[in-house]
Amino acid sequence: MSLETDLNTRAGSICELCAATENLNAYAVPEAPTTGLDGHALICTTCQTQLEDAEAVDPNHWRCLNDSMWNTEPAVQVLAWRMLHRLRGEGWPADLLEMMYTEPATLKWAKATEVEDGEEKIVHKDANGNILEAGDTVSLTQDLNVKGSSFTAKRGTAVRRISLVFDNPEHIEGKINGQQIVILTKYVKKQKDVG
């Protein structure tokens, strides 16, 4: 059997992201740790175009991820996680990301950044030069006024389970007072694991 046939069988001949039934293609998920069926998803040309071209993204199209993020196939989970992460500024995708469950290996695949030849991989570092990773806990090194709100995040405030802004090494995201905010890495220091 061909890869396309296997994918159609697995997906029930619908796009594994938005459930469209036409213009379906086998899509090789970037940075896949495996080849063949497990490294592919069956997706429509609309989803593929928006995955590959940030300018073409229509956030409303991706409300379909509310359903497809629960797909049990790692390749589909990776695509859903990456698009939700890209759209998290819209608000609702950040909520879905918090609910989404993936195995650690799948999450590592989802977070793998594509690095073009000659480009350096983006590395996030705290005020002391320690490398930050998604999920780390950091503390603020000074009081920060939070834009768009009336509170000031106090020095020493712990920000747990940070996420990295994939295209900017000077920005991380985290929740303070229940609000998701962007924080400059030069104003945080990584907390050591206890235990």
Please give the full DSSP string across 118-147, using - where no structure is assigned: TPPPP--B-TTSPBP-TT--EEESS-EE-T
Contact 83, 51 (CB under 8 A): yes
Q: What is the pTM of this model?
A: 0.59
Is pLDDT above 80 for 24?
yes
pLDDT in tens, 125-146: 899 988 888 888 999 999 988 8
Residue with the two structure tokens 């989404």 = 100
pLDDT in tens, 60-86: 999 999 999 999 999 999 999 999 988
Residues whose CB is less than 8 angstroms from the CB of residue 150 and which lie 6 or more positions away in sequence, other chains included = none
Q: How many Cα atoms within 13 Å fall on the side-chain side of residue 38?
A: 7
Q: What letter represents residue 72's amino acid?
A: T
pLDDT in tens, 159-178: 988 887 777 888 888 888 88
Domains of the chain and CATH, by start: 3-111 (no CATH), 138-190 (2.30.30.40)
Q: How far is CA 5 from CA 11, 26, 173, 177, in A?
A: 10, 9, 41, 49
Residue with the two structure tokens 């939700």 = 84
